[in-house]
Amino acid sequence: MKPYYEPKPALVERMKLLLKDEKDLNEFFDCAKTTGKKSIRVNTLKISPEDLIKRLKDKNWKVSQPIKNHPEIIQIQSILEPGELGKTEEHLLGYYYVQEITSMMPIIALNPVEDEIVMDLCASPGSKTTQAAMQMKNCGTIIANDLNIGRISILSANLERFGITNTIVTRHDGLDLCSKLQKSRTKIKFDKILVDAPCSGEGNIRCSPRTYLEWSEGLIRNLGNRQKKLASAAVELLKTNGEMIYSTCTHSPEENEEVLQHLINNYNISIEEITLPIKTRPGISEWKGNKFHQDIKKAHRIYHHDNDMEGFFLCKIKKLSGKKEI
């Protein structure tokens, strides 16, 4: 049985403000005590969903494809031994990636295509980088960046396991990388950028109960300031009409809507409508007296009790021509 820690009173009070009513709040925290079903994403560069499902069923695993029009997303209905998903021959061969379904949504929303130049600014361990490369059919170019050498090693190993050949791995602080690319002679600009920002992890409570112990409002404020800088630096590197997904696995408005409001205040951007194949809720319109731009409602909040999945936040941003008039 996984450990369970009680949420701090301040977190409970914040969630009361974010959720609809007491029933919604109770369902949120009740769901946090449960363990969700495991999911995997088929590597269609190496195997078809049908062929992988056949191999999994030969192991007597029960599986399903819960997302319409996304046969590559498979949910494991069987109860497996801890770590079993990562020990199979199919995993070793790079036929699938163990990944939360909500974690697949940013690349589904970003929709990178074959001839584009794409950056994954905070890439390790590689779930979204490999998903983007797969969607691009191993064509185009991806820059996958992370800072920690251990995480870079995991990222590189996953790219190799998946047979990814269109990706350049860089090891930099995200802000430093953006600054260097801005100053480079090539003046590289990107068609698509993913900023899946390091965050407080409130959406990962089910798989990481220690989040309750490590959570604090001070941590949220510090992360929010860092995320504003990361997202701003990434916007600078977009081509005109280029698109960026900003995402986190947290519910904190300081790390989500406030970051979007910062971008709206400082850059000539638009918040784009996106449709996701799971249940979501709109971005909030205000937080603790601070009102947000009406377009921030186009962002997507994902709560674990709405889908029996992990929690997430994401939004698509388009860079417009010209400078922001302030």
Find the CATH number of the domain harbouring 275: 3.40.50.150
CB 136 within 8 A of CB 191: no
CB 181 within 8 A of CB 207: no
Residue 326 has pLDDT above 90, yes or no: no
User: Structure tokens of 40?
Assistant: 């995997």
Of the listed 31, 122, 178, 249, which one is catalytic? 249
- For the chain, what is the domain count? 1
Q: Is residue 211 one of the residues assigned to a domain?
A: yes
pLDDT tens across 76-129, in order?
A: 999 999 899 999 999 999 999 999 999 999 999 999 999 999 999 999 999 999
Q: Is residue 2 one of the residues assigned to a domain?
A: no
Residue 315 has pLDDT above 80, yes or no: yes
Q: Return the pLDDT at 186.
A: 83
Whether 249 sits among the annotated catalytic residues: the reply is: yes
Q: Is residue 59 one of the residues assigned to a domain?
A: no
**Residue ranges with strand state E in the chain:** 39-42, 63-64, 73-76, 96-98, 117-120, 141-146, 167-171, 190-196, 238-248, 269-272, 281-282, 286-287, 290-291, 300-302, 312-319
pLDDT tens across 150-159, in order?
A: 999 999 999 9
What's the chain's average pLDDT? 96
Q: Is residue 51 one of the residues assigned to a domain?
A: no
Q: Is residue 20 one of the residues assigned to a domain?
A: no
pTM: 0.96
Residue 290 has pLDDT above 70, yes or no: yes
Structural domain harbouring 202: 102-319
Q: Is residue 168 one of the residues assigned to a domain?
A: yes
pLDDT tens across 162-203, in order?
A: 999 999 999 999 999 999 999 988 889 999 999 999 999 999
Q: Is residue 264 one of the residues assigned to a domain?
A: yes
Q: Is residue 188 one of the residues assigned to a domain?
A: yes
Q: Return the pLDDT at 185.
A: 85
Mean pLDDT, range 137-164, rounded to an integer: 97
